[in-house]
Structure 1
Amino acid sequence: MGLQSKASSKRGLLKRALAGLSLIALAACEPISLGPVSVGGGGNSGQTIDTSRPVPVALLIPKSDSGAASVARSLENAARLAIADLDGVQIDLRVYDTAGDAGRAALLAQQAVNDGAKIILGPLFGEAANAAGVAVADDNVNVVAFSNNATIAGGNVFILGPTFRNTANRLANYMQRTDRDSVVILHNNGASGQLGRVAVQAASAQNGVRVDGAFGYDFSQESLSSAMAQATAAIQSAGTSTVMITDDYEGGLPLILDQLPAQGISPANTTFAGLARFDVRRDAFLLKGMENSLFAMPDQNMIGNFRARYQQAYGSSPHPLAGLGFDGIAAIGALIARGDQNALTRSGLMQSAGFQGVGGVFRFRPDGTNERGLAVATIRDQQVVILEQAPRSFSGPGF
């Protein structure tokens, strides 16, 4: 791609971001709960199993949801690929179609338990996963959902999706160890932005990173410009080393990366970091704040191996979320392989050594969220550079 084409692509990205801020405002008025809504059993909840026989596992996915059918297909394919890897472990996978509906998910979760399921894998969407967890809490059955919505985790509901807190903690840990020990947060005022802000603040406190301010913006260019002006003043006043952006490319991220340097925040002195992956849009590599930025990502070599295996098995590329289906079965299979009848109880799922997933190691936290091994990366000369590899276990640095 020539310089003219790259510049044109960059302009297109910024125009779409501006349009997106206006469009998202229409959807931003819908209230979203930020508090935990899961109703699940405490203690050591979960079904006991007979590891000498096939263990019934229910997979709840939105197969007939036109907007999510491709994701559902990939999740099921990946789950079956993981089953094929299990050595001496038998899983009786039973698939239920939620159609992407929370009410249906609750009914099918109960049906799955009535059919003998010892654990539920899925659903995909947070509302459906919460409904499924509530439906089977009294049956002492755990739900391992594909959602990344931390507000539904807890009790008998565990989530497999990557969380803001995990990413924020990985970055804050790296920042503190590399003399980037202060941060200003830029976040949208929607539910995701608020969750991102809270995650960065908590991770900063945990890792000894000073927070010099958090500035929110509504979904408009005027509001974003005002927040950037406030952030600029705070960074210049406190000598802040890092600006943390919670948004992604569908929100304010590209505009912040482009316009904050124009306001005097040079990436030569202040690191631009983000909870979203910066490498998913190569046309964004020209944005002024991209050079020497910080973001986190799973082990790309491992993900590449999974994609190759999936392609060979099914003749197509997996959906980006497919690995969650593999991870769920890999974790369940590893626990069953121990021969412990309590393998799928809460204490079993939370074993500290964790599991080997598609993108690296992961484990469940006591609050039902997860912790994943992530690499720290940057962009240099329009190329992705890995600054610190993803940890291969939970006993080394990076957590």
Structure 2
Amino acid sequence: MLAFLNELNPLRGARKPVKAVVPALLALSLAACATTPPEPVIQPVIPEPEPVIEEPVIEEPEPEPVDTGLIPPHMQDQEIVRVALLLPFSAESSGLRGESLRLLRAAELALFERAGSNLVMIPKDTGGTPEGAQSAATAAIADGADLIIGPLLGSSVNAAGAISRANDVPMIAFSTDLSTAGDGVYLLSFPPQLEVARVVEYTSRQGVDRFAYLGPQNAYGMAVYNALQNEAEMNTGYVAAESFYTGDVEAMSRAASRLAEGVFEPLTPEEADALRQEEWMPSEDAPFQAVILPEGGVRLRALAPLLISQPVDPLVVRFLGTGLWMDERLQREPALAGGWFAGPDQSSRSRFKTSYEVAYGSEPSRIASLAYDAMALAAHLDGGEDGYSAAALENPEGFFGADGLFRFGPDGVIERGLAVYQMHPRGFREIEPAPQSFEPEAF
């Protein structure tokens, strides 16, 4: 649950009585929600769900808008706050449609756990296209939206952002494309640059100054590679080797060979046993001491063993990852044992996960928490003296959400307090906790 830093750093502005008590950690007990929350006031028009979706979507017509904006009949006498939720409910991709439903459910969960009786959620369908996002944003503005949450895709954020900026309505979007942020558009997401910065800073403090990159030559991979170069240099290190691939396991194998073939000698059994008994230390003789692998799931399980065959032994070279490694299915992959990666605070995440499972009978996706945090933030700021202004959204003290500490910079880009984890067969081992507050001079 989203718990804001009220006790540590009180936010400005009086609150309405209905929200007078906002706990210090936005991770209040999600487990307290033992029943499915009621239906939201307004439901989106959602296409027929995929067969894998267990719960049917109940269609409910939207109330007719009036001159002062969209107001349900039973709320005519209240001061309404409207929050639009833009998602690709009717996208061609079944994956996008399924993700939209999970994001909607998470937003509903926050709405009924955190919001007062005067907040109305207005879902809008972007169709998964920039044109659809622009139309959805235009419709949201016409309905009197005070804040827009979403869209999900970078191209859609650009299109909808043009509408929100022109109408001076702030937007909290879910894209990791940092170029879409700014001028009233805020990105609540998991940019890989933040994860790379955290794990590289930690690894550098352990004595590593020579890094390597082995990963895809796509947008995500290049974002990781560029961040690795920048962060290694900032920590007095450098990227000593890199190898890119585009394609399947065969392409991965060739890239692994280019990166490391002939530069490492296989460990003898005696050497390996000796290293297992000692705390890992970076080798002064190795051409690189740590290598980052920006993959996840099945592709990561295919990539990591290819390095060992070269042989790049994780007993000598520390394997590093991004938030894609936060996958329980990867814990028993021998090649990843001992690897380090940065990710959200798991204690906060587990509370959200429990609440979502109790409410909907299924697990949330990795990014479902973004919609929860966005709606909980909307509920928290509703009623404050600064409302949804830049001053309120860019509070340098930050907020606590389902994924831990976060805040927005003046450029609209998110900053997160991340923990560092080690891969272990019995679970992710936290080796450095996430921070509980931000340094005030960071912005």
TM-score, normalised relative to structure 2: 0.70
Q: 1:279 to 1:92 in 2, by over 3 A?
A: closer
Q: Is 1:391 the counterpart of 2:435 in the alignment?
A: yes
**2:86 alignment counterpart:** 60
Deviation at 1:165, TM superposition (A): 0.7
Match of 2:158 among 115, 130, 138: 130
Deviation at 1:82, TM superposition (A): 1.6
Deviation at 1:279, TM superposition (A): 4.6
Separation (CA, whole Å) in 2 of partners of 1:177 and 1:89 = 49
What amino acid maps onto 1:264 in structure 2? P
Q: Is 1:203 the counterpart of 2:242 in the alignment?
A: no
Deviation at 1:314, TM superposition (A): 3.2
Match of 2:309 among 262, 268, 288: 262
**2:142 alignment counterpart:** 114
Q: Is 1:241 the counterpart of 2:289 in the alignment?
A: yes
Q: Deviations over 1:125-156 (max 9, x none)?
A: 22222211123322122221122232322333
Match of 2:205 among 174, 177, 184: 177
Separation (CA, whole Å) in 1 of partners of 2:371 and 2:238 = 38
Deviation at 1:250, TM superposition (A): 5.0
The alignment partner of 2:228 has SS state of: helix
Q: Kindly report which structure 2 residues correspond to 1:232-311, keeping only aligned pairs within 5 A, or say none.
A: 232=260, 239-249=287-297, 251=299, 253-280=300-327, 282=329, 285-288=332-335, 290-311=336-357
92-101 or 215-224, larger mean C-alpha shift: 215-224
The answer (yes or no) to whether the contact 1:106–1:131 under 8 Å persists in 2 is: yes
Task: Give ranges in structure 1 of 5+ residues lacking alignment.
Answer: 1-51
**2:171 alignment counterpart:** 143
What amino acid maps onto 1:184 in structure 2? A
Deviation at 1:103, TM superposition (A): 0.8
Deviation at 1:331, TM superposition (A): 2.1
The answer (yes or no) to whether the contact 2:82–2:122 under 8 Å persists in 1 is: yes
Deviation at 1:335, TM superposition (A): 2.8
Q: 1:255 to 1:87 in 2, by over 3 A?
A: closer
312-321 or 139-148, larger mean C-alpha shift: 312-321
The answer (yes or no) to whether the contact 1:374–1:389 under 8 Å persists in 2 is: yes
**1:86 alignment counterpart:** 114
Q: Deviations over 1:24-57 (max 9, x none)?
A: xxxxxxxxxxxxxxxxxxxxxxxxxxxx933221
Deviation at 1:234, TM superposition (A): 9.9
Question: Percent same amino acid among aligned pairs?
Answer: 31
**2:400 alignment counterpart:** 356
The answer (yes or no) to whether the contact 1:164–1:196 under 8 Å persists in 2 is: yes
Task: Give ranges in structure 2 of 5+ residues lacking alignment.
Answer: 1-77, 265-284
The answer (yes or no) to whether the contact 1:242–1:272 under 8 Å persists in 2 is: yes
Which structure dedicates a bigger proportion of its chain to helix?
1
Deviation at 1:166, TM superposition (A): 0.7
The answer (yes or no) to whether the contact 1:75–1:325 under 8 Å persists in 2 is: yes
Separation (CA, whole Å) in 2 of partners of 1:204 and 1:337 = 44
Q: 1:100 to 1:389 in 2, by over 3 A?
A: same
The alignment partner of 1:277 has SS state of: helix
Deviation at 1:160, TM superposition (A): 1.3
Q: Kindly report which structure 2 residues correspond to 1:11-50, keeping only aligned pairs within 5 A, or say none.
A: none
Q: Deviations over 1:316-347 (max 9, x none)?
A: 4333322111110222233334322xx32334
Q: 1:76 to 1:380 in 2, by over 3 A?
A: closer
Q: 1:303 to 1:382 in 2, by over 3 A?
A: closer
Separation (CA, whole Å) in 1 of partners of 2:240 and 2:416 = 27
Q: 1:104 to 1:88 in 2, by over 3 A?
A: closer
The alignment partner of 1:68 has SS state of: helix
Match of 2:214 among 167, 174, 186: 186
Separation (CA, whole Å) in 2 of partners of 1:224 and 1:321 = 27
Separation (CA, whole Å) in 2 of partners of 1:337 and 1:181 = 49
Q: Is 1:367 the counterpart of 2:415 in the alignment?
A: no
Deviation at 1:382, TM superposition (A): 5.6
Q: Deviations over 1:252-271 (max 9, x none)?
A: x3333102122122111110
Q: 1:373 to 1:367 in 2, by over 3 A?
A: same
Q: Deviations over 1:182-215 (max 9, x none)?
A: 3111221122211221122222233333221332
Which is higher, the Rg of structure 1 or of structure 2? Answer: 2
**1:339 alignment counterpart:** 385
The answer (yes or no) to whether the contact 2:130–2:159 under 8 Å persists in 1 is: yes
Separation (CA, whole Å) in 2 of partners of 1:67 and 1:233 = 38
Q: 1:208 to 1:92 in 2, by over 3 A?
A: farther
Separation (CA, whole Å) in 1 of partners of 2:263 and 2:197 = 21
Q: Is 1:313 the counterpart of 2:341 in the alignment?
A: no
The alignment partner of 2:257 has SS state of: helix
What amino acid maps onto 1:129 in structure 2? V
The alignment partner of 2:430 has SS state of: strand
Deviation at 1:223, TM superposition (A): 4.1
